[in-house]
Amino acid sequence: MSRPLIGVLALQGDVREHLAALRDQDAEAVPVRRPEELAAVDGLVLPGGESTTIAKLARRFGLLDPLRAAVRDGLPVYGSCAGMILLADRLLDAPPDQETIGGLDVTVRRNAFGRQADSFESEMDVEGLGGGSLHAVFIRAPWVEEAGDGVAVLGRVVGGEADGRIVAVRQGNLVATSFHPELTGDRRVHALFVEIVRRHLAARAGAGAGNEED
């Protein structure tokens, strides 16, 4: 199979780190700033940053509605930190005018772990990742307050005041984490997402072949 083309929404946030992580997984990674660039990719990463700023810029660049349509159409999307907020259908502690892309049946609490000074690192297990625990970096991070029936919980905080809080989820082709795997040398979350994109492409190709036979 050819290398999947995966975009990173490049309006604000840690774009370069995600591009590098995706390229380490033999994906072709490109920044996405315009609707025509979004239309060309096989998958998309929503990076960490400032969720309200990213949403406002997406609206200004004419990307917000195309992003929503792409998610509805099944485009694989991975959101880290602010990206998790952008994928959420519901938000807590958000400005009343904050917009999201949506598609992920979760309620997310913004800045749930506190301010920048409360950022921390932790070891945790993430379902679907082999190789033992993952070193997770949380920076002014959200958490999932409530997940819908169709959402698989992949990871929770262990220990401390936030013990049991949901910080990694998946629903179909959508994946989101509260933490920043792009800031460590551990590429397993990106590898998981690239595999989701590859399977999506294979399924689409198979469906196309079936239609040709008809």
Q: In Å, what is the CA distance from 166 to each residue of 109, 113, 154?
A: 11, 12, 8
pLDDT digits (tens, 9 = 90+) for 14-73: 999 999 999 999 999 999 999 999 999 999 999 999 999 999 999 999 999 999 999 999
**What CATH number corresponds to the domain at position 147?**
3.40.50.880
Which residues make beta-bridge pairs with 127?
none
| H or E element that contains 9 | strand 5-9
Rounded distance between C-alpha atoms, residue 81 and residue 182, angstroms:
11
Pairing of strands 77-80, 174-177: parallel
Beta carbons of 88 and 100 less than 8 angstroms apart: yes
Residues 6+ apart with CB under 8 A from 149: 105
Cα 33 → chain centroid: 17
Is 211 a residue whose pLDDT tops 80?
no
Range of the domain at 147: 5-213
What pLDDT was estimated at residue 159? 81
End-to-end Cα distance, the chain: 24
**Domain count across the chain:** 1
Short-list 130, 131, 94, CA closest to 112: 94
If you average pLDDT over residues 133-144, what whole number do you get?
Answer: 92
If you average pLDDT over residues 180-189, what whole number do you get?
Answer: 94
Helix 51-60 × helix 64-72 angle, to 10° = 100
> Tokens representing 105?
């049946």
Which residue numbers are catalytic?
81, 180, 182
* pLDDT-wise least confident of 7-16, 49-58, 169-178, 199-208: 199-208
